[in-house]
Structure 1
């Protein structure tokens, strides 16, 4: 009992140390970026600013909003930049408890899922935002001068980043389901029509109420689902052939007849 308690306490101490190192890395990056917090927010706001009428600016309705919103954006960027250190600390904590084959699978999955999430955010920033904001600006009545609030803009951007980041995790989810034996590649191909319908339903729920953004989320989701099926089919090993094959009833009868004939000849 004492050994179990000591082991549990040792794991807690190691977990605390790993979390502290990850937090220190995040704080250091955040402090280094803070002098450019305003410029960082300007980069985030560029897709919206490019679609606003000339001379129009975003507004801040709160007293401290012009300070806290850039700080939040800078914290988000700091987390993305410190993510390799955070992931390494998490990996160093769980790796000793994994088998060798689990480590071989976990490393590419963790790296791949991180890269796919960042690609999803980049796709949203460089392609989706410009298209959606341009569509909204063209659709808006001429009597309205848009002046978005920076806090609402940040909330919208964060929700879109998370939506597209998670969407790009579809191949990883498909591979995990196949490797865990929850579903087969053949079953995934069979339910393809339902996945397509589900992708458009999900896109309609979490994206703005315009057809363009829904398509820009649903179509990549479907394509990434197909990519996940291809990768799962490549890494899934075929079932090993059994070393022993049981004889059929006819073969057993023939063998018995052969043994009886051999005994008669021996007599």
Structure 2
């Protein structure tokens, strides 16, 4: 009996003695932020070497140029647009390239304060979230922009030639990248809600109909006023909601405390 009490006490005191003073936390935060900056600098230098700012602009301009006249080009209205717009695109691309490294630094900062059963699901969720962000941005670049510009061009009068400004174009697609990258985190949010017992899986299943309405409202707010981009955001959000419910079943069981698992086993037996 005494041995079992000692074992349970050891489990409860898993983090005992690991507390650090506030200054130590600030020093650790400073180091992790510096590592993030180093990673962004390295990613920016690599992208500046290849494909370069001009190459990045050519890449993101592919969807709209496919719906412009053969020799037409994007224009730069602002005096400093030819310099600042490629720089903005380079910085955004550096953040995307270094995203796993940034997530890893965030993990290294919070990991000492987590129990072992929490670490089992925290690290997979961090990298799964990064993959979902990449998937959302790739979905915009490879599918949404082409369909959206094709839909918009159908309403352009024959006397009007579309020659968009590079600055407004970059701002529009960057906002779409961010919107889809964030919206594709729906499974992560669902899993965390279940893991921290804020909602149950049964409640999420009964909330399906309401979430469909929420998804279309969010899509209407975050996307341009065209049907294609709104559907392209709302439908994946609904599908990812179902993915989150399935994933929540796994993380809800794998993230239990050891004593909870033992009590569940004894209850079932």
Q: Tell me which interval the TM-score lies in, with the shorter structure as reference length.
A: 0.7 to 0.9
Take 2:189 and 2:77, find their aligned partners in 1: how far apart are those partners?
Answer: 41
How much is the aligned-residue C-alpha RMSD, in angstroms?
1.8
| Residue 83 in structure 1 maps to residue 99 in structure 2 | yes
| Alignment CA distance shift 1:215-1:243 (3 Å) | closer
TM-superposed CA distance for 1:243, in Å, is 4.9
Length-normalised TM-score, structure 2: 0.84
Q: Residues of 2 paired with 1:52 and 1:144: CA distance? A: 11
Q: 1:12 to 1:188 in 2, by over 3 A?
A: same
Q: Who is 2:31 aligned against?
A: 17
The separation in 1 between residues aligned to 2:251 and 2:23, in whole angstroms, is 38
- Cα deviation, residue 242, structure 1: 6.6
Does residue 111 (structure 1) correspond to residue 127 (structure 2)? The answer is yes
Tell me what 1:232 maps to.
Answer: 248
How far the C-alpha of 1:136 sits from its partner, in A, is: 0.9
- 2:3: which partner in 1? none
Gapped runs of 5+ residues in structure 1?
Answer: 1-5, 245-267
Which residue of structure 2 aligns with residue 147 of structure 1?
Answer: 163
Partner of 2:14: none
What does residue range 66-77 of structure 1 map to in structure 2 within 5 Å? 66-77=82-93
What is the rounded CA distance, in whole Å, between the counterparts of 1:64 and 1:243 in structure 2?
69
Aligned twin of 1:33: 47
Residues 124 and 160 in structure 1, CA contact (< 8 A), matched pair in contact too: yes
Whether 2:185 is the aligned partner of 1:169: answer: yes
Query: Once the two structures are superposed, what CA deviation does each residue of 1:134-190 show, in whole Å capped at 9, x if it has no partner?
Result: 111122111111111111111111110111111211111111101111111111111
1:8 aligns with 2:32: no
Partner of 2:144: 128
User: Which stretches of structure 1, 4 residues or longer, exceed 4 Å deviation after superposition?
Assistant: 241-244
1:46 corresponding residue in structure 2: 62
Give the count of matched residue pairs.
239
Distance 2:139 2:174 in 1: 14
Q: Post-superposition shift, 1:121?
A: 0.5
Q: Contact 2:43 / 2:97 at 8 angstroms: preserved in 1?
A: yes
CA deviation map 1:214-263 (0-9, x unaligned): 1111111111111111221243339927759xxxxxxxxxxxxxxxxxxx
Q: TM-score, normalised by structure 1?
A: 0.85
* Deviates most, 194-203 or 123-132: 194-203
Counterpart in 2 of 1:156?
A: 172
Write the deviation string for residues 26-74 of structure 1: whole angstroms up to 9, x where unpaired: 1122123224111111101111111112222111111110111011111
Aligned equivalents of 2:100, 2:21: Cα separation in 1: 28
Q: Distance in 2 between matches of 1:79 and 1:107?
A: 20
Q: Which region of structure 1 is more displaced relative to structure 2, 125-134 or 194-203?
A: 194-203
Partners of 1:52 and 1:137 within 8 A in 2: no
Larger Rg: 1
- Whether the 8 Å CA contact 2:121–2:251 is kept in 1: the answer is no
The question of 1:56 aligning with 2:72 is answered yes
Distance 2:26 2:86 in 1: 35
Q: Distance in 1 between matches of 2:214 and 2:109?
A: 36
> Separation in 2 of the partners of 1:75 and 1:56?
26
1:180 to 176, 181, 196: 196
